[in-house]
Amino acid sequence: MTRMVARALQEYETLVKKGAIASFSVTIEDRGILITPAGTGADAQRVPLIEEVADTLHVFFYNVPAIDYGTYDYTSLNSFFHDSGQAM
């Protein structure tokens, strides 16, 4: 599952680099994440997570309504999934 998230984040990063979208944000939901592009050019995408991972993200990003691409919070989120994917 963490590889699915890492892959989805990479897809949106590529869209930003290509200029297809200006940016995107990630929202932590009860059992997954929602990746929402800014403006038009791509659809939002939900990626499911196992309960333990979702709970960990809720604790770590407590009181953070959305994680914007390019911010420190995004770097932390991205590192979590890339490091987790290496271990699995």
Q: DSSP per residue over 48-60, as a string? A: E--HHHHHHHHHH
pTM for the predicted model, two decimal places: 0.87
Residue 80: other Cβ atoms inside 10 A = 18
pLDDT attached to residue 81 = 85
Please tell me the distance from the alpha carbon of residue 20 to that of residue 18, in angstroms, as a whole number: 6
**pLDDT, tens digit (0-9, with 9 covering 90-100), for 36-74:** 999 877 899 999 999 999 999 999 999 999 999 999 999
Confidence of residue 8 (pLDDT cuts 50, 70, 90): very high
> Per residue in 2-14, is it b (16+ CB within 10 Å) or e — as a string?
beebbebbeebee
pLDDT attached to residue 84 = 54
